[in-house]
C-alpha cells in the first residue's frame, strides 16, 4: 500500500522541529520520536498514538476511528481519516496530542516479549 506524499510532507513540516526519524514500512511511512513510534501515514490516513484515556472521546465524537489490526483494537492507536486532516491546524492538533503522549511514555533499556509479556534485558 502506498501513502499520500502530500500528507507525508505536511507531517514532516509540522514535526520538523522535533527532528523525527522517518522509516519506510510495508503499509506506508512512520515517524519515530526518540525511541517511540509517533505516527504513520498509510494511504490517505494518519495513524497516531494517543493517550488511552482520550481515545474513546475522539472515537465517540467521530473525529477518529479505532485502529484494528488482525481483528484486535490497539490500546493507544487511532486512525484519523483524510477528511479530518484537510486543514494544517487539524493535522497539528493530532500531532500535538501524539507528541504530548509520547513525551511521557516510559523509556528504559528493557522491552517485553510480545508473546509472553516477560521482560527481556
Higher pLDDT, 113 or 61: 61
Residue 39 sits at φ, ψ, to 5 deg, of -160, 170
Question: What's residue 106's pLDDT?
Answer: 64
How many domains would you assign to the chain?
1
pLDDT tops 70 at residue 107: no
Segment 74-99, tens digit of pLDDT: 888 999 999 889 898 999 999 999 99
Residue 7, burial from CB neighbour count under 10 angstroms (0-12, 13-18, 19+): buried
pLDDT tops 80 at residue 15: yes
As a whole number of Å, the end-to-end CA separation of the chain is 35
Cell representation of residue 52: 488511552
> What CA–CA distance (Å, rounded) separates 24 from 8?
12
Question: What's residue 97's pLDDT?
Answer: 92
CB count in 10 Å sphere of residue 86: 9
Higher pLDDT, 2 or 81: 81
The CATH number linked to 112 is 3.90.1150
Residue span of the structural domain in which 27 resides? 5-120
pLDDT tops 60 at residue 113: no
Higher pLDDT, 58 or 116: 58
> What CA–CA distance (Å, rounded) separates 99 from 24?
20
Segment 25-68, tens digit of pLDDT: 887 899 998 788 899 999 899 999 999 899 999 999 999 999 88
Cell representation of residue 47: 495513524
Amino acid at each position: 500500500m502506498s501513502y499520500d506524499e502530500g500528507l507525508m510532507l505536511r507531517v514532516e513540516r509540522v514535526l520538523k522541529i522535533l527532528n523525527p526519524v522517518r522509516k519506510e514500512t510495508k503499509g506506508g511511512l512512520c515517524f519515530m520520536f526518540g525511541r517511540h513510534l509517533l505516527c504513520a501515514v498509510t494511504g490517505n490516513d494518519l495513524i497516531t498514538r494517543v493517550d488511552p484515556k482520550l481515545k474513546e472521546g475522539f472515537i465517540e465524537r467521530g473525529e477518529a476511528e479505532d485502529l484494528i489490526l488482525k481483528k484486535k483494537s490497539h490500546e493507544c492507536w487511532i486512525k484519523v481519516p483524510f477528511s479530518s486532516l484537510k486543514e494544517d491546524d487539524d493535522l497539528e492538533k493530532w500531532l500535538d496530542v501524539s507528541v504530548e503522549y509520547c513525551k511521557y511514555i516510559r523509556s528504559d533499556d528493557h522491552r517485553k516479549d510480545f508473546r509472553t509479556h516477560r521482560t527481556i534485558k
